[in-house]
């Protein structure tokens, strides 16, 4: 016995249809976030407009607002996208050597590095929409790296630094190197310098004697 398909109810509303060639909402949001990441990286958050982001994806500003009602909402999504990109690196961080891989990966994506550097500086202002995000992000990174270092070395690294001190130094070095590299990529070899610092913190590097 075969199952018959019921006849359609003439009173039922027809299924919603997308316009021909129009991507689904999720894909469109992804396109907008990618375009915003590029726009903010090139011009900074304050110097970018929703209209310019919308133009990159062939939308009107009103069309963009359908997906992101405010510029701040879009910024949060952009910052989360950067975290998603980095999560594979920091999420699998199992030792200091892994940080060199993170620095090497950053050297291959100048737009994201520039975006992060610009927004982290702009976010110093307490009324900036990214202020809380960066404050929480730095605290989270310090806690994560500290936990990894304490698990590997206990309460003191071979260099004598505590895990908390080493975590703060590593984050500061990586962010500072990104700033120098953004000005002149040839002046700072981020992967090698991060590797040198990690070696020093583990007591394996050669440091000049203090005066």
- 208 within some domain: no
- 7 within some domain: no
Instruction: Clarify whether residues 114 and 198 are in a common domain.
Output: yes
pLDDT single digits (tens) 1-26: 433 434 444 444 344 444 455 567 88
Instruction: Clarify whether residues 60 and 128 are in a common domain.
Output: no
Instruction: Clarify whether residues 76 and 126 are in a common domain.
Output: no
Q: Domain range spanning residue 106?
A: 93-203
Which residues in 126-140 are b (16+ Cβ under 10 Å) and which e?
eebbbeebbeebeee
Q: Report the first-to-last Cα separation within the chain, whole angstroms.
A: 94
Instruction: Clarify whether residues 105 and 197 are in a common domain.
Output: yes
62: pLDDT confidence band, cut at 50, 70 and 90?
very high
Total domain count, the chain = 2
Give the global pTM: 0.71
Boundary of a domain, candidates 80, 105, 126: 80
């Amino acid at each position: 016995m075969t199952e018959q398909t019921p006849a359609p109810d003439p009173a039922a509303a027809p299924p919603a249809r997308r316009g021909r060639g129009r991507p689904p909402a999720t894909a469109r949001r992804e396109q907008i976030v990618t375009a915003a990441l590029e726009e903010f990286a090139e011009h900074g958050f304050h110097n970018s407009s929703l209209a310019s982001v919308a133009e990159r994806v062939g939308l009107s500003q009103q069309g963009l607002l359908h997906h992101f009602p405010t510029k701040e909402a879009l910024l949060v999504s952009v910052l989360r996208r950067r975290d998603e990109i980095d999560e594979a690196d920091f999420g699998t961080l199992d030792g200091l050597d892994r940080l060199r891989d993170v620095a090497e990966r950053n050297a291959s994506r100048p737009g994201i590095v520039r975006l992060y550097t610009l927004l982290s500086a702009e976010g110093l202002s307490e009324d900036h929409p990214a202020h809380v995000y960066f404050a929480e992000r730095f605290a989270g990174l310090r806690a994560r790296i500290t936990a990894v270092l304490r698990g590997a070395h206990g309460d003191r690294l071979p260099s004598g630094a505590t895990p908390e001190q080493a975590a703060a130094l590593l984050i500061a070095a990586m962010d500072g190197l990104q700033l120098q590299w953004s000005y002149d990529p040839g002046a700072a070899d981020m992967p090698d310098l991060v590797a040198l610092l990690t070696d020093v913190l583990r007591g394996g590097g050669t440091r000049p004697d203090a005066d």
